[in-house]
Chain A
Amino acid sequence: MAPLLQLSGVSKRYGGVQANAGIDLSVDAGSIHAILGENGAGKSTLMKLIYGVERPDEGQVLWQGQAVTLSSPSDARRLGIGMVFQHFSLFETLSVVQNMALIVPGSKGELATRIRDLGAAFGLSVDPQAMVHALSVGERQRVEIIRCLLLNPALLILDEPTSVLPPQSVALLFDTLRALRAKGMAILFISHKLEEIRELCDTATILRQGRVTARLDPRQGTAHDLATLMIGRPMPPPVHPTPHGLGEERLALSNLSFANDDPFGVSLTDVSLSVRGGEILGIAGISGNGQQELAALISGEIAMKSGAGAVQVMGQPVGDLGAAARRLRGLAFVPEDRLGRGAVPDMSLADNALLTAHGRGLVQNGFINRKAERAFTADCIARFDVRTSGPQAEAGSLSGGNLQKFIMGREMMLDPNVLLVAQPTWGVDIGAAADIRQRLVAMRNAGAAIVVISEEIDELFEICDRLQVLHKGHLSPSVDVAATSVEQIGTYMIGAAA
C-alpha cells in the first residue's frame, strides 16, 4: 500500500537561502513521525509546503499515491491535512464553539456536542461555551487540536506543540496523540526536544541545513546520538554551576503588585524575590503567566508611580525610576524579543551597541565617538563569536541566534551588577545555546547576580542555583535546584501547589 503522504526531491529557496533541498519524506497512516532539527534547519518551511502555505520550487508531493498540487491551506484541509501552529490562531474574544463555527460547517449545538464527544474520546476536555481568552495555554492547544479533528483529518501536523506546555500537560497531550494513532491517524510531530521524540515517535526524519541527514527509529539509540545527527557534531557537555560563597543582596522585589491596564495582559500579585551576587535565580513558568510584565518591571520599562521600594537594586529603591536610570545602577537586561526591542533592525550593529553601551565612553560631550563605538562592537563580535560581516552589518540581517549572541555580549560587556535575561536561548541553535549558558555560569562565578526567565525547564535545571515559578501573576517560593525535581516545578507551573 502506498504511504499516506510522500514527498520526493522537494526543494524551496527564499532569496539566497536554500530552506529545503531535495527532501524525501514518507509518512504512513497510524504512525507518529518526528521531524527533528535545529532552528533554521528547514522544519517550518517543510511543513508550510505540506500544508499548502508555500509551494515547492521543485519536487513532487504524493497523497495516497496520487500527485497533488497544494496551493493553499484549504486545499490541504480538503485532502485531510490538519495543522496546529506553534502560535495559536484563535479569536480571544469569541467562545470555543464560535471559533470552531468559523471554519467547520454545522450548527453550534451540533458542534458543541461533537466537541464534547471528541474531548471524551481523546482526553481533550474543554468547555465549548468557554471564552478563549479565559483558557489556559494548554486548553487553547486542545481547542486547536479539536478544531483540526472536527474536519476528520488523515494527517495531523503539530508544530513544536510542547514548547508552551507544563510537564503534566505534555503527558496528557502524548496520551491523546497515542489514542489518535491507534485510530489510524498519521501525525507529523515537529520538535527539537529529543527525549520527547524518543518517548512518543515511531520514526524520525532529521533535518540539517535544509537536507535530510538521517531517517531512523528514535527509540533505538540515545538522545545524545540524535543530537549528534541533528547538529552534526557531538553535543557540548552541560555546565552545572558548583556551589560557592555568595555576595550581598543585589536585586530584591518585595511584595510587588502590578495591575495591568491591558485586558489581555497579566497582573502581578505580591511578587517577592531576592538575588545575591554569585547566584543564578531561575524564573520558570509557561509564557503568558506574567513573565513579560515581571521583566519590564525589573528593567524599568514599566516604572511605578508609587512604592519605589518594591524594587531594589544594590540596596537602593528604584521602582519609580526609568530603564536608563536603573542601568546607571548596574542593571543590564537581555529581552526575549531581539528585533525591535533588544536591537533596532534597520541600524548597524555599531549603532546597536550604542543603544545601551553609550555610557562606556561611546558618547563624549553629547557627540558619538564613532571610533570607540566601532571598537566596542568589534570586540563584542569577536568575544562572543557573532557571525556577521562586521560592525556595519544591519542587525536585521543577522540570524536570530547570532543577534542573541550580540545582544547578550553587549549586555555582558557592560559588566553589570545584576543581569536579567529573558528566554536566553529562544530560537538559538544547540551549540550557541550551550555557549550562552556557559557564559552565564561564568558571570555568576565572577560574582554577578543573574535572573533567568525561561520556559525551558531543562535549561533552568542546568544553570540555576534556585528556582521560582510564575503562574498567573503569582510567584512561588524559592526552592534550591538541588532539592527539587522537575515534577515539583511542574506542579507549581500549573498552579496545583498549595
Chain B
Amino acid sequence: MDKFANVGWPEMLLMAGVGFLMVFTVLVLLIFVMKGMGWVFTRQKKAAKVATKGAAAADEHEAITNQEIAAAIITALKLYKSNLHDQESEMITIHRIARAYSPWSSKIHGLTQLPERK
C-alpha cells in the first residue's frame, strides 16, 4: 500500500505507544467521571439515609406508644369478655331422634341375602 510506504519501525513503535497511552487516558478519564458520579450518588443516598433515620426514630416512638394503647385496649376487651358467658337455650328436651343410615346396619346388605338365581 502506497499510504504506508514511509511507515517504518519508528512510526510503528510510536503508533503502538501512543495508541496504548490513549486507551489508558480515555479509560482513566472515565474512572474520574464514574468516581464523581458515584460520589454524588452515595452522598445523596447517605443524606436520604440520615433523613430516613430521623423519621425512623420518630416512627419508632410512635410505634411504641401505639403498641401500649393497643395492649391496653386488648386487656380491657379480654377482661370484659372473660365476665361474659355464652348464651344457652337452657332446654334439655330431645326434639328429634334420627338414625343415620349406615351400610353396616343395612338389612339390604345383610349376610342373609340369598344369591340371585338365573
Q: Do A and B come from one complex?
A: no
Where the two chains meet, the residues of B that have a C-beta atom closer than 8 Å to any C-beta of A are: none
